[in-house]
Amino acid sequence: MEFVIISVIKIVVVLFIGVLPLVANLVYAERKISAAIQNRIGPNRVGPWGLFQSPADVLKLFIKEDIVPATAHKFVHTLAPVISISVALVTIAVVPFGDTIELFGYRIKLMIADVNIGILYILALTSLGVYGLTLSGWSSNNKYSLLGGLRSSAQLISYELSLGLSIIGVIMIAGTLELDRIVELQEGWRWNIFLTPIGFITFLVASFAETNRLPFDLPEAEPELVGGYHTEYSGMKFGAFFLAEYANMITSSALIVTLFLGGWQLPGVHSLGFSPLWVSILQILTFMVKVAFMLFFYMWIRWTIPRFRYDQLMNLGWKVMLPLALLNLFLTGALHFIAPGIW
């Protein structure tokens, strides 16, 4: 019973206090960051400094009419955004945002689900995300939506190969599939970004493609597809796709931090003489700062690099990213064989 209560509290804290409110704040942050990059002001009318703009948008989505095309497959049309948002939120369950914390006599692991195959769990769920986009395009019975769905399936399948192969180098170094153990092995400055830099670059670029962020947002390219797979969506169904995109950003940023940037590790924190509780709090704050930097990097890239053409997208995925991922796998294996004590 205690395990169930603790798990429910974790879910409430991470999802309903952490991730979901953060999505609304990310929309505001992206508007302000894009405005700064483009020498504009950004939201400044609704509330002080435009802070109420995102809540106003959420309210608008809730009260907006849900329009379903007469020729659409209504059940699948409704199911598609549910798949997208469910996969986006469930994936973060195995990501550790701290080591352990002692509260009220309990020693609590700072992750929702402590599974020993965390990486496989993430790869399995992220591969399901393509169904939400593809089914939404097919069920809308719209040529622009269908093209967006086809693009999404081709893009996500292409870059999933590079994404999965780039993680294998980390698994070879750590010798485990447990995400919390991978973070523990990056103590000090033994971060995997230094041990396998090619794997980091491959994973980072593949993450942009997996989250449909510019310059990889071909499935929803407005100049060509009017919005792509979600052209025929309105109200909170559209809001679910929007929420899923930002939730995927948070999850992928958390994964990059966990796998390559030391996770919650703060070098030298144990030498400061803090109590275990304060050490745990500092580790959580460290993880949050690293994730915030990666989220800023996502937005920075979006407003810096223009969208690729579709042939460029496929060429990059198959002719550059996949060979790089295989090269990283070979080099990591060779170093592990020649000098096993290097890590």
Domain count, the chain: 1
- pLDDT of residue 203 exceeding 90: yes
pLDDT of res. 341: 63
Give the other-Cβ count within 10 Å of 102's Cβ. 12
> Is the residue at 26 inside a domain?
no
- pLDDT of residue 2 exceeding 80: no
> Is the residue at 327 inside a domain?
yes
Q: How many Å separate Cα 112 from the centre of its chain?
A: 16
Q: Which residue pairs, CB below 8 angstroms and at least 24 apart, start in 1-5?
A: 2/106
> Is the residue at 302 inside a domain?
yes
Q: Terminal CA-to-CA distance of the chain, rounded, Å?
A: 41
Q: Is the pTM of this model over 0.85?
A: yes
> Is the residue at 306 inside a domain?
yes
Instruction: For residue 204, give Cα distances in angstroms to 36, 53, 311.
Output: 24, 30, 20
> Is the residue at 308 inside a domain?
yes
Pairing assessment for the beta strands 106-109 and 100-103 based on DSSP bridges = antiparallel
pLDDT of res. 324: 92
- How does the average pLDDT of the chain come out, rounded? 85
> Is the residue at 264 inside a domain?
yes
pLDDT of res. 256: 94
Range of the domain at 114: 73-342
pLDDT of res. 343: 59
- Percent of all residues in the chain with a pLDDT value above 70, rounded to a whole number: 96
> Is the residue at 337 inside a domain?
yes
Instruction: For residue 36, give Cα distances in angstroms to 39, 40, 68, 233, 342.
Output: 5, 6, 37, 30, 44
104-117 tens-digit pLDDT: 777 778 788 888 88
254 by Cβ neighbours in 10 Å (0-12 / 13-18 / 19+) ranks as buried
Per 3-state DSSP, the chain is made up of helix, strand and coil in percentages (nearest 5) of 70, 0, 25
> Is the residue at 206 inside a domain?
yes
300-322 tens-digit pLDDT: 998 888 888 888 888 998 999 99
212-247 tens-digit pLDDT: 887 887 777 766 767 778 888 888 888 888 888 888
* pLDDT band, very low/low/confident/very high, at 342 (cuts 50, 70, 90): low
Q: Which is more confidently placed, 324 or 113?
A: 324
pLDDT of res. 61: 85
